[in-house]
Structure 1
Amino acid sequence: MIGGVPILWREIIGNIFGLASAYGGMKRVVWAWPIGIIGNILLFTVFLGSAFSTPQNLDLYGQAGRQVMFLVVSTYGWYSWSVARRQGIKEETELDPARSIVSEPAADASAVRPRWASTRERLGMVVFAVFSTVACAWVFQALGSWGPWADAWIFTGSLLATYGMARGWTEFWLIWIGVDIVGVPLLLHAGFYPSAFLYVVYGAFVLWGFITWLKVQKNNPH
């Protein structure tokens, strides 16, 4: 109980794991993905209130569905970054045979190189955002989701942002800001206070991450 409001510990812990994953994403390290997956599993049980008997007893299918989506996309991201990391280490050691993973792992902390998405990629994101939000809102409303339109954008934006992170597109930070702007009011009205609070924290963190990736791009233009 916090201020007379019942709070689930798994909601708090799941969001902390999510924040840790976001930090790992900013630092471009591979462990960001498995840490995030743990948080996804915990939060899935939080947002299906009717199935897991949460204090709110509300179903937010977009919030729950995005946890499943995160599991799938995060598996892709984990694989993609792991391959990029191994390739980077291989290139470094080939250029300098004296360098090793143990003695001088220069490439092991940066699994992806940030870049802006191309015009074609941006257009694809916009088209997907519009059609996916409309389609998901229709589905969520039919299922009885609480706040289907906001829930639909959160699901769609989360999918785009996670995929963008896996591809190394700097725009993914901006998409997260759009998700946070919609997510905070929705979660407050639904009574998921820890998640709403951490969405605010995410917002500040996302701005930090965006600036960090911009600096990396400036220092590594190619």
Structure 2
Amino acid sequence: MTGPLGWLLDAQVHLLGAPVLVREIVGNGFGLASALLGLRRQVWAWPVGMIGNGLLFTVFLGGVFATPQAHDLYGQAGRQVFFFAVSVYGWWRWSRNRRQGGDAPAVTPRWATGRERLGLLLAAAVGTALGYPLLAALGSWGPLPDAWILTGSLLATYGMARGWVEFWLVWIAVDAVGVPLLLRGGFYPSAVMYLVYGALCVWGFAAWWRSSRTVRAATTPIPSTYSEVVA
């Protein structure tokens, strides 16, 4: 393949003596831009992230796309596909909210309800338990952490689409597992970006928490009589 696309698929640089695909760097750059836009609750977070998903999908399937790394991470590759699908939902939901809310942000942060949190925990446990043997059978390198990264990433992306403050905490848990896995696998740009994502998630969590408190304070009715105060 020739032209800019061919160059993007084939180009490599050397970092710390190891070959690194340019498309891994570019894909993670789009991912970082998507995270920053998500922190600011901008609709563009979704299509920008989808471009990164497409590029990173080719990175983690080295057996198909001839990457320099010796390991295939099927969970990492699979999550890019699911990211893309969930991002379509998030793009639609945030765009609808934006049309209905005028100049307001595309989503209003809120804490998940008790039932929603329970659902997240159950989905995390079941998804990881089911993903582990499947990824192991496919020959994924590091199937257990790969299964959690896949499951946690999907839950975090869904939580972002719903506007749950907790989605940032799920991302932090994903990053904590992902960094050592990617370092051992030789995916150095992705490991560095996971570290950056982790710091960004702390910032995003604080920002969305403040926003949720502001919204709650603005929507809490002010009692107008003494009887309402003591009721």
Give the structure-1-normalised TM-score. 0.91
Q: 1:4 Cα shift?
A: 1.1
- Structure 2: segments with no counterpart, 5+ residues: 1-13, 220-231
Instruction: Name the structure 2 match of 1:101.
Output: none
What is the alpha-carbon distance in structure 1 between the residues aligned to residue 16 and residue 69 of structure 2?
Answer: 15
Equivalences for 1:98-177 in 2 at 5 Å? 106-107=103-104, 110-177=105-172
**Percent of matched pairs sharing the same residue:** 63
Deviation at 1:171, TM superposition (A): 0.3
**Cross-structure match for 2:50:** 37
| Paired residue secondary structure (2:20) | coil
CA distance in 2, matches of 1:11, 1:27: 25
Alignment match of 2:59 (pick from 46, 63, 66): 46
Q: Deviations over 1:144-176 (max 9, x none)?
A: 000000000000000000000000000000000
Give me the CA root mean square deviation: 0.6
Deviations 1:184-208 (A, max 9, x none): 0000000000000110000000000
Which of structure 1's runs of 4+ aligned residues deviate more than 2 A? none
Q: How does 1:1-222 map to 2 (within 5 A)?
A: 1-89=14-102, 106-107=103-104, 110-221=105-216, 222=219
1:26 and 1:3 map into 2 onto residues whose CA distance is 32
3-state SS, counterpart of residue 70 of structure 2: coil
| SS across alignment from 2:15 | coil
What SS is found at the alignment partner of 1:220?
A: helix
Distance 1:138 1:165 in 2: 28
CA distance in 2, matches of 1:197, 1:29: 24
Q: Which has the larger radius of gyration?
A: 2
**What per-residue deviation string (whole Å, max 9, x for no partner) do you get for residues 39-63 of structure 1?**
0000000000110111113210110
Q: Which amino acid aligns with 1:187?
A: L
- The aligned counterpart of 2:6 is none
Mean Cα displacement is larger for which, 158-167 or 1-10? 1-10
- Write the deviation string for residues 123-157 of structure 1: whole angstroms up to 9, x where unpaired: 01111100110100110000000000000000000
TM-score, scaled relative to structure 2 = 0.87
